[in-house]
């Protein structure tokens, strides 16, 4: 090792933070038991820690005590009045009694006080049978309800989702507090109207918020009810199925409450029954979900669901029985394989299928049809993360967990609008900052909701992410803050990094990123000196140009700052769909076999050949862009699409329609008819997540169970069953009785996968000469270019209320958000004379469309957004598609456009001359 390198690594480690002074311990006696607790402890929390259950209707462990219900009363020696234990702090020598006759009587009176003004409309209340006020009245023996005065407040039904019945409200404040302290949204408040207290949106306007439903979940009575389930059930009539959400990759646990083949409502662990936080550890989630999980359930019973197999004959669709459809499809596929070889067949599968479905799909394609031309939705961006991580540290997934993120001291989020894409994971970051005082740094090219909450907002210019990452790496190295263990283990790689950033000037990096150098340097120092740092990136990195190389740079940064070695630290690559990570893990990409084993490895192929007792195709198959290119050339004769709709997802520039027109035989398998399905020869009806068993793998790599709530709609079938039926029709039966059999086979071939055994990072590539030689190329100076003719940057974005195109099938979510509008910043709107609901013409080199606009304060000049969930009009077709040469990820979600205001001409009908003379 050279003296120069030694000088660089002989640096002190990050200084240890000063230890917090030990809290003074206080003695307290509760029901004769003497204990010591830290100064500042609340009495109710202390009793809860002792396993004592004290009734408390306005309390929940996830937010501050409110002290309004008057039920958690206790006796304290020396106090004349009873004490509300939820707000009382322990004093030294305090003596407490919790269940004297006086206290029990006081609690009864508190319940009676609520009942006197309660409407007692239990037979028509949605909370009947699951109501804390009912439970309290029963537990405390409150049977003699005095006649009282009702509030006579009209029900507030102005919100799109939630109705507020203030006659039932006990003014516990839990809905307000969970919104303010857990969600950090602060959408609700108490307000006065006609001399009476209401709960609702600020200033008494109709509530329009994130609609996470946490307020609904913690309401102890029926004061807040869902408009999608109102008057539709009694809790004891519904079957409850604990399963995993099928929208984003957060992996939230849902309780599907159903009758027959219909989901009536969705709940979660968060409720008044979870208020004492039993078995909850520090850093655990609060048990809630988001608007999609709680209210996006109606698509399961949509009338537009496919229910029988469809066959196209002379351009017309007709229903056919399953046995005929599978036999005809199997026969045609085998004919193509025999005539043209397996390489003439390709398949695409969605990241919404279960692990068991995906595993069986790739086995069917490889072992039965003899093709490795397979791909999944992860190719739209997440494969940049997986490939880069595999190339550098040997594991293609996150190295942190939700709990570790919550307990982080420093967090850097770059290129991801998490409150929109992954709102429940975003709650972990909110909690890290608000509860544990983490330094939260958020980098994006517009002000996201999370950036508004950040301690260190880093708003870069469009395309400035590369310069920011390069600047962070440069600052860590130049300041001598590199993690010593990395420098010592990989001196040659460190030297390559040092030389690579040496040619970058601080001035240029600041200009290209749009941030003052001081801010970049401060962020780098915080991350380098963190004890439990977390680095997160998402779609704004992986789905944009330079995505793969930016992930490589971020991994460089993680290694330089010790995030892969420090306990509790780690990295999190965000992916969009619920099982996008699992789809890659199960081998639904040509690069990998199940377990992310390299397909190019002869020894790994031999292992799977032996397990499956069949031959496997040689060579790496085609990725999604290559499949489309080969299809247009006529080389792909058959295409099997499972839940994928490339015609509805990709822009015209990628020539999807032309490719599909040149494919002889297309089979689509989906719960709904899609644009791609309309071009198919067969469409097979697939079950949705609520109708099948299996597992998903969430964003952190944890396995989540999927449970069947009811049988599939009509004749729809689970994907795994369709694959087995097709294989049988091709005389290659796959002998599985159900998802459990498939699960057991995966467990044998990928040991530890279902035990959540997380492999350790292995950055040995940083010792490889060929890899080291590539490092400097990642740190060449960048320069942003913009065409004068197209001054606006258009981004296709995800909005909170939707996930891909699936959520647009849900009438509830579409009722909340169906705006196919162009979002534009206030400054640009003013310059163009635009206001919300005006129309603009969006123009690019590929065409033009007209869309209404909505003005947002959060967007900077020169940036416009359009939701990628909607194809009305096809804004995506204005964008070009470029392919990453290393990962074959298509970049099509950002492009340069021009805007022109569309003037609406209003004609006034003048009275006829004859009329004027009368």
Q: How far apart are the first and last CA of the chain?
A: 105
Average pLDDT over residues 371-393: 98
Q: Kindly tell me if the per-residue pLDDT of 69 is higher than 60.
A: yes
Alpha helices in 143-262 (DSSP H): 174-177, 214-218
Q: Phi and psi dihedrals of 180, rounded to 5?
A: -80, -40
365-401 b/e (C-beta count within 10 Å ≥ 16 → b)? bbbbbbbbbbbbbbbbbbbbbbbbbbbbbebbbbbbb
Peptide bond into 834 cis (omega under 30): no
Q: What is the pLDDT of residues 102-117, one digit of tens each?
A: 999 999 999 999 999 9
List, by residue range, all CATH 3.40.50.740 domains of the chain.
310-382+579-749
| Closest-CA residue to 263 (of 670, 691, 692) | 691
How many angstroms from the chain centroid is the CA of residue 554? 21
Average pLDDT over residues 87-92: 94
CA angle centred on 317, ends 312 and 320, rounded to 5°? 80
Give the residue carrying structure tokens 């029988």: 308
pLDDT bucket at 912, cuts 50 / 70 / 90: low
Contacts of residue 603, defined as CB under 8 A and 6 or more positions apart, other chains included, come to: none
Dihedral over Cα of 296, 300, 305, 311: its sign: positive
CA dist 59 and 351 (Å) reads: 40
Residue 14: predicted pLDDT: 44
Highest CATH level, class, for 310-382+579-749:
alpha beta
Average pLDDT over residues 455-466: 97
Cβ contact 632:605 at 8 Å: no
The model scores a pTM over 0.75: yes
CA dist 336 and 4 (Å) reads: 63
CATH of domain 792-901: 2.40.40.20
Give strand pairing partners of 256: 241, 266
Q: What is the pLDDT of residues 738-768, one digit of tens each?
A: 999 999 999 999 999 999 888 899 999 999 9
Q: Phi and psi dihedrals of 668, rounded to 5?
A: -115, 140
Q: Kindly tell me if the per-residue pLDDT of 865 is higher than 70.
A: yes
Q: Kindly tell me if the per-residue pLDDT of 16 is higher than 70.
A: no
List, by residue range, all CATH 3.10.20.740 domains of the chain.
25-99
Q: What is the pLDDT of residues 327-356, one digit of tens each?
A: 999 999 999 999 999 999 999 999 999 999
Q: Kindly tell me if the per-residue pLDDT of 442 is higher than 60.
A: yes
Q: What is the pLDDT of residues 564-579, one digit of tens each?
A: 999 999 999 999 999 9
Residue 5: predicted pLDDT: 46
pLDDT bucket at 1, cuts 50 / 70 / 90: very low
CATH of domain 401-568: 3.40.228.10
pLDDT bucket at 279, cuts 50 / 70 / 90: confident
pLDDT bucket at 304, cuts 50 / 70 / 90: very high
Alpha helices in 694-822 (DSSP H): 719-729, 739-749, 769-775, 811-816
Give strand pairing partners of 316: 313
Q: Kindly tell me if the per-residue pLDDT of 47 is higher than 80.
A: yes
CA dist 680 and 664 (Å) reads: 10
Distances from the Cα of 17 to the Cα of 13, 433, 437, 561, 825, angstroms? 12, 17, 13, 17, 42
Task: Name the token pair of 148.
Answer: 């009282």
CA dist 291 and 409 (Å) reads: 29
The CA radius of gyration of the chain, in Å to the nearest whole number, is: 30
pLDDT bucket at 17, cuts 50 / 70 / 90: very low
Give the residue carrying structure tokens 């001035």: 507
CA dist 540 and 463 (Å) reads: 10
Q: What CATH fold (topology level) applies to the domain 25-99?
A: Ubiquitin-like (UB roll) (3.10.20)
Query: Across all residues in the chain, what is the average pLDDT?
Result: 94
Residue 757: predicted pLDDT: 84
Contacts of residue 293, defined as CB under 8 A and 6 or more positions apart, other chains included, come to: 245, 247, 252, 254, 266, 268
pLDDT bucket at 20, cuts 50 / 70 / 90: low
List, by residue range, all CATH 2.40.40.20 domains of the chain.
792-901
pLDDT bucket at 146, cuts 50 / 70 / 90: confident
CA dist 422 and 578 (Å) reads: 10
Q: What percent of the chain has pLDDT over 70?
A: 97
pLDDT bucket at 786, cuts 50 / 70 / 90: confident
CA angle centred on 804, ends 799 and 808, rounded to 5°? 85
| Residue 484 neighbours by CB distance under 10 Å | 15
List, by residue range, all CATH 3.40.228.10 domains of the chain.
401-568
């Amino acid at each position: 090792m050279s003296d120069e390198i030694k000088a660089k690594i002989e640096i002190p480690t990050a200084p240890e933070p000063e230890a917090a002074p030990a809290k003074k311990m206080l003695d307290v006696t509760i029901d004769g038991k003497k204990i010591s607790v830290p100064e500042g402890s609340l009495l109710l929390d202390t009793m809860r820690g002792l396993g004592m259950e004290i009734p408390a209707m306005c309390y929940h462990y996830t937010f501050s005590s409110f002290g309004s219900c008057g039920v958690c009363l206790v006796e304290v020696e020396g106090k004349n009045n009873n004490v509300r234990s939820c707000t009382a702090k322990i004093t030294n020598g305090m003596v407490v009694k919790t269940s004297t006759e006086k206290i029990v009587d006081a609690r009864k009176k508190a319940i009676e006080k609520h009942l006197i003004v309660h409407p007692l409309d239990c037979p028509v209340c949605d909370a009947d049978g699951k109501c804390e006020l009912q439970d309290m009245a029963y537990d405390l023996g409150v049977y003699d309800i005095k006649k009282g005065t009702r509030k006579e407040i009209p029900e507030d039904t102005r919100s799109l989702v939630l109705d507020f019945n203030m006659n039932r409200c006990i003014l516990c404040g839990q809905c307000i507090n969970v919104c303010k302290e857990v969600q950090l949204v602060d959408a609700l408040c108490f307000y006065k109207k006609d001399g009476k207290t209401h709960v609702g949106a600020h200033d008494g306007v109709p509530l329009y918020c994130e609609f996470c439903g946490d307020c609904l979940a913690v309401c102890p009575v029926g004061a807040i009810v869902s408009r999608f389930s109102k008057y539709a059930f009694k809790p004891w009539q519904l079957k409850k199925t604990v399963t995993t959400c099928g929208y984003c990759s957060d992996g939230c646990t849902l309780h599907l409450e159903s009758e027959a083949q219909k989901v009536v409502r969705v709940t979660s662990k968060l409720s008044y029954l979870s208020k004492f936080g039993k078995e909850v550890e520090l850093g655990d989630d609060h048990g809630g979900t988001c608007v999609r999980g709680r209210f996006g359930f109606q698509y399961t019973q949509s009338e537009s669901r496919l229910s029988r197999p469809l066959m196209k004959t002379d351009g017309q669709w007709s229903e056919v029985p399953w046995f005929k459809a599978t036999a005809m499809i199997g026969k045609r596929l085998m004919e193509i394989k025999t005539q043209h070889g397996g390489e003439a067949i390709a398949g695409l599968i969605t990241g919404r299928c279960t692990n068991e479905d995906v595993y069986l799909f790739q086995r069917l394609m490889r072992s039965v049809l003899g093709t490795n031309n397979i791909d999944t939705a992860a190719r739209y961006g997440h494969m940049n993360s997986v490939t880069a991580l595999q190339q550098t540290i040997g594991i293609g997934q996150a190295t942190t967990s939700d709990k570790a993120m919550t307990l982080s001291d420093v967090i850097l989020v770059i290129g991801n609008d998490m409150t929109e894409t992954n709102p429940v994971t975003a709650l972990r970051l909110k909690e890290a900052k608000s509860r544990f005082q983490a330094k939260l740094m958020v980098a994006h090219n517009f002000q996201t909701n999370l950036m508004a909450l950040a301690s260190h907002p880093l708003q870069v210019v469009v395309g400035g992410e590369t310069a920011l990452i390069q600047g962070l790496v440069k600052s860590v190295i130049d300041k001598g803050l590199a993690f010593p263990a990395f420098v010592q283990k990989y001196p040659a790689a460190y030297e390559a990094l040092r030389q690579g950033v040496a040619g970058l000037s601080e001035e240029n990096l600041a200009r290209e990123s749009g941030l003052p150098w001081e801010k970049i340097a401060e962020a780098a120092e915080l991350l380098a000196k963190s004890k439990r740092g977390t680095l997160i990136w998402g779609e704004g990195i992986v789905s944009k140009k330079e995505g793969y190389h930016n992930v490589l740079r971020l991994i460089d940064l993680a290694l330089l700052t010790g995030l892969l070695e420090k306990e509790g630290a780690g990295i999190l690559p965000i992916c969009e769909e619920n099982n996008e990570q699992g789809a890659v893990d199960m081998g639904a990409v040509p690069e990998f076999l199940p377990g992310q084993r390299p397909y190019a490895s002869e020894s790994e192929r031999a292992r799977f050949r032996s397990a499956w007792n069949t031959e496997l195709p040689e060579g790496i198959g085609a990725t999604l862009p290559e499949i489309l290119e080969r299809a247009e050339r006529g080389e792909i004769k058959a295409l099997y699409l499972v839940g994928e709709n490339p015609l509805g997802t990709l822009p015209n520039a990628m020539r999807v329609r032309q490719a599909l027109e040149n494919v002889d035989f297309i089979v689509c398998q989906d719960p709904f008819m899609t644009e791609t399905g309309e071009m198919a020869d067969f469409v097979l009806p697939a079950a949705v997540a609520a109708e099948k068993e299996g597992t998903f793998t969430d964003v952190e790599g944890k396995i989540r169970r999927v449970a069947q709530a009811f049988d599939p709609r009509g004749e729809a079938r689970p994907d795994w069953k369709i694959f087995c039926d097709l294989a049988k029709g091709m005389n290659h039966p796959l002998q599985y009785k159900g998802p459990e059999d498939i699960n057991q086979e995966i467990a044998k071939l990928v040991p530890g996968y279902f035990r959540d055994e997380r492999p350790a990072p292995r950055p040995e590539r940083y010792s490889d000469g060929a890899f080291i030689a590539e490092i400097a190329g990642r740190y060449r100076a960048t320069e942003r270019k913009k065409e004068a003719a197209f001054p606006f940057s258009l981004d296709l974005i995800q909005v909170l209320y939707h996930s891909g195109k699936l959520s647009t099938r849900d009438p509830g979510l579409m009722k909340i958000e169906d705006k196919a509008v162009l979002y534009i910043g206030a400054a640009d709107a003013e310059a163009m004379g635009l206001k919300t609901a005006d129309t603009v013409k969006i123009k690019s080199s590929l065409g033009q469309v007209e869309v209404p606009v909505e003005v947002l304060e959060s967007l900077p000049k020169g940036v416009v957004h359009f939701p990628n969930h909607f194809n009305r009009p096809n804004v995506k077709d204005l964008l070009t598609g470029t392919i990453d040469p290393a990962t074959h990820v298509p970049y099509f979600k950002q492009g340069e456009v021009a805007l022109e205001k569309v003037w609406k001409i209003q004609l006034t009908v003048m009275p006829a001359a004859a009329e004027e003379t009368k």
